[in-house]
Amino acid sequence: MNITKLLKPVIKLVLVFAVSTSIYSQNNECGFTYSPEAQNYFDSIKSELEILEEQFLQNRLTSRSSTALTSVPIKAHIVRQTNGTGGLTTIELDDAIATMNSIYVDAGLEFYLCDTINYIDDDNFYAYETNDESALFAANSVADIMNIYFTDNIVSSSSGGGLCGYARFPGGAITENILMANSCATNGSTLAHEVGHFFALTHTHGGSNSTTTEELVNGSNCDTTGDFICDTPADPQLSYGNVNGACEYIDPFTQDANGQTYVPDPQNLMSYSRKECRTLFSPQQLARINSIYHLSRNNITCSTFGADFVADETVSCGANLTVNFTDTSAGATSWSWDVDGDDIEDYTTQNITHTYNAIGDYDVALTISDGTTSVTKVKPQYIDVGAQEINTTMIRLNLTLDDWPNETSWQFLDENGTVIDSGGPYVNPTDDFANKTAQFTVNTDMCYTFIISDSYGDGICCSSGNGFYELRATDNTLLATGSDIGFGETNGFFNGVLSVNNFSTETLKLFPNPSSSTISITSNSLPDSYIIYNTLGQVIKRSQVESENDLEINIESLNNGMYFIKLTKDNADQVLSFVKN
């Protein structure tokens, strides 16, 4: 008798029971919920978000990308008992932030305390229930900053179960607050997990804790389900029951819809794995965090000590651009500017003027000090010298307004500063949430500028609706898009080719993507060579291109994940991304 075969169903039943029991307890670990408002907001920014994420990952390959960390202020609220006893200690708070900083460094962010700790001495909030949220936030939350509340425990008012913490995506109401139970804030991973939600990361097992993810193991639907991240493997919901003490996944039975066994990552911080196992974000998760900060969380500031700046010009069609930078920081006594992303200090005065003499996109970083502490603001690809190269006969504007349309206006100008077309300010309430379109005929070898403005400075999305704009070429190629634009933004275009004719992203096609075996690249003009990089900027493969057959590239030996392929012709480079699954 084959005892192993006989016992296999029993083993499976016991394992499933253990996993299910653990999953039940794990359901209450995190109180994150994915609201319809957050989903609508995420959908409205998805195009722009994908552009920023790819830029973040590609920036590892350019010398104009700053490695400085943007400093994100935290307003800490420590809840104690009414008599002033209990609560998180300052040492525990400092250690928790230091641990989180060691995790978020690869996302280009660091966190610091803004002003003194706000102590809340109230027994009712010390034993916090989620129904207490409105009263707690109304009395204590500070606008435009990351408010983190630390309390003795958190109980879900709907289920009665305990929670480690919770946070919300950008979009919708009350999105700048994070709740943490003290014991979880100090375990090394849960605070980073909740802050991940704050920056629009969902659980690796997807939006539901009660059903198995629809994401397939082969990654073919990785960008439309699960956690919407393609370099995190499909996760059937990790737990203490299916991850052992060595941080290994031990469930050989659970399979996806195709019958493939899951191979999730127990180390991922956005999973429900053992807390001590969760130590890292994937490269695409890091790109999502950084991009959401710049797209949706860049309003976060400390009113008494924080770095920020503006520039009078950020875009030029020519090969030179002179920019006047103005410091708008708070609490600074000294300044250090890096205006070209090379991590070298360029100026040490408060307000500066700099001339750029080479075509390219440049990060700008300002570090300020108050004599004791230094904080930094990095604006990626803030300066655009040479403008974006396009090849089209027409540019189409699609604009969706928020519920304050009278704040929004735009202009489309040629290289002489002549206004070709304009729109707005629009009319309240007639144009509330209205869709507006316009088309601009463009000539070859000409520069054009699109300027969109919001007079109030809160953009056209988020708290007042899900407005956005996009510019598309004749063939529907997305040229630019934006929503959380503050007071406005500018896009410059050169309609022609400043570098090599017939060698641009508009004429390069890579397919299939994702792929498990081979990728193919087509181009109107054969490149001279290519280099494949991983997301860390390491060279994986390089080759000369002699014929079209050389652009049929076998990738079977690559590990699953995202890669970049840089194609070179003469002195021009183009970078495309692909996913190996």
pLDDT in tens, 143-160: 999 999 999 999 999 888
* pLDDT tens string 533-562: 876 667 788 889 988 899 999 998 888 887
pLDDT digits (tens, 9 = 90+) for 291-333: 999 988 988 999 999 999 999 888 887 778 999 999 999 999 9
Number of helices followed by number of strands (H, E) in the chain: 8, 32
Identify which of 110, 272, 284 has the alpha carbon closest to the alpha carbon of residue 195: 110
364 plus 397 within the same structural domain? no
Residue, of 366 and 11, whose pLDDT is higher: 366
Q: pTM score, two decimals? A: 0.75
d(CA 289, CA 280): 13
Q: Place 52 in a pLDDT band, splitting at 50, 70 and 90.
A: confident
Beta 315-316 vs 146-151: how paired, if at all?
unpaired
Pair 154, 105 in one domain:
yes
Task: Return d(Cα 489, Cα 379) in angstroms, integer.
Answer: 13
pLDDT confidence tier of residue 18, bands split at 50, 70 and 90: very low
> 501 in a domain, yes or no?
no
Please name every residue paired with 398 in a beta bridge, in sequence order, or none if there are none. Answer: 437, 470
One domain, residues 485 and 553: no
Find the mean pLDDT for residues 223-227. 90
Q: Is 500 contained in some domain? A: no
User: Are residue 392 and residue 473 in the same domain, yes or no?
Assistant: yes
Alpha-carbon distance of 251 to 509, in angstroms, equals 40
Residue 502 maps to a domain:
no
Q: Examine the domain organization and report whether 340 and 399 are in the same domain.
A: no
Q: Do residue 265 and residue 325 come from a single domain? A: no
Looking at the structure, tell me whether residues 266 and 336 fall in a common domain: no
Say if residue 179 is in the same domain as residue 286. yes
Beta strands in 241-320 (DSSP E): 309-311, 315-316
In this structure, are strands 177-181 and 146-151 parallel, antiparallel, or unpaired? Answer: parallel
Range of the domain at 517: 509-580
End-to-end CA distance of the chain: 41
pLDDT score recorded for residue 139 = 97
Residue 26 lies in a domain: no
- The kind and range of the H/E element at 138 are helix 133-140
The verdict on 455 and 367 lying in the same domain is no
Q: Which span out of 52-61, 113-122, 228-237 was modeled with the highest average pLDDT?
A: 113-122
Instruction: Provide the H-helix boundaries in 163-218.
Output: 182-185, 190-198
Amino acid (1-letter code) at residue 572: A
Asked whether residue 441 falls in the same domain as residue 552, the answer is no
Alpha carbon distance 132, 152 (integer Å): 14
* pLDDT tens-digit map of 187-204: 999 999 999 999 999 999
Region of 225 please: left (phi>0), alpha (psi -120 to 50) or beta.
beta
- 174 and 47 part of one domain: yes
Quick one: pLDDT at residue 14? 33
